[in-house]
Amino acid sequence: MKTITFYKYQGTGNDFVILDNRDLHFDKTNTKLIEKLCDRKFGIGADGLMLLENHDTLDFTMVYYNADGNESSMCGNGGRCLVSFAQHLGIVKDTASFEATDGLHHAHLFDNGEVSLQMTDVPVVQVFDGHIFTNTGSPHHVQLTDNIDHTDVFTQGRHLRNDLYGKEGANINFVEPQGGNVFKVRTYERGVEDETLSCGTGVTAVALAMHSTQQTQNNEVSLLTPGGTLKVKYQPSPQGYTDIWLTGPATQVFKGAIAV
Ligand SMILES: N[C@@H](CCC[C@H](N)C(=O)O)C(=O)O
């Protein structure tokens, strides 16, 4: 029987199966297997699966799949977890540089287990009547709500993801300002097709959306998600937002082997 050695990580409750694929042993075309490994009843269980692979000039390459088994766009919490995994493997110490689907990322690792990840620059934040749309490495819809604890994120998120964004979809974020520079956020993720406990590119989109619509004047905000607190820093400019950093915990949960 064949087994796959895996690691399970979580970043503010957004959880991932991670495989060390530096020897390229994993069959990336096996969508069904990726979906099964992420299945919470028939597999390990996760919001997504990542491969850590070699890179010619940087520390490593990140390959990201959603829980539905399909390769997707950037995952901010996943990127932070993969940086922590690279440190576990001894590939990096307290800084890292890697390539993901949206380009080059830099990261810092701190002694308290937090990881800061530089996100892609965001040239455009589109403000519509009732919502905001931006791409922070992944596409995000941001919508204000006045009772986030009682918002039906699954039903409303699924509806918006399908009816407004079609087959390609988008991630749907609900946000409620808490006063000061603090915002409560809940996210429906495409590819998971459910609410997750936190979404890194999602809270980044929320931070930029709140700044663009003058809900905050600050360059650093705290985002309270069901899985914990993340911080986003950014520099606004006439060209959009640059120097964007996502910071929060990234934790190894366990290591295991699964029969496939
Ligand atoms: N959880 C991620 C986002 C993962 C990608 C997303 N589901 C998509 O397909 O756009 C994050 O932390 O950013």
Domains and CATH numbers, the chain: 3-119+249-259 (3.10.310.10), 125-241 (3.10.310.10)
**8 A C-beta contact, residue 13 and residue 198:** yes
CA–centroid distance, 196 to ligand 1, in Å, is: 10
Q: pLDDT 10s per residue in the chain (260 long)?
A: 899 999 999 999 999 999 999 999 999 999 999 999 999 999 999 999 999 999 999 999 999 999 999 999 999 999 999 999 999 999 999 999 999 999 999 999 999 999 999 999 999 999 999 999 999 999 999 999 999 999 999 999 999 999 999 999 999 999 999 999 999 999 999 999 999 999 999 999 999 999 999 999 999 999 999 999 999 999 999 999 999 999 999 999 999 999 99
Per the annotation, the verdict on 81 as an active-site residue is no
SS3 211: helix
Residue for token pair 């307290």: 94
Residue owning the nearest CA to atom 1 of ligand 1: 199
pTM above 0.90, yes or no: yes
Does 30 count as an annotated binding residue? no
* ipTM exceeding 0.85, yes/no: yes
Task: Name the token pair of 143.
Answer: 């919508």
Residue 153 CA to residue 197 CA, distance in Å, equals 11
Residue 30 CA to residue 33 CA, distance in Å, equals 5
Q: Annotated catalytic residue: which of 51, 75, 132, 205?
A: 75
Per the annotation, the verdict on 199 as an active-site residue is yes
| Angle (nearest 5°) at CA 10 between 70 and 81 | 75
CA–centroid distance, 218 to ligand 1, in Å, is: 25
Task: Name the token pair of 197.
Answer: 């406990």
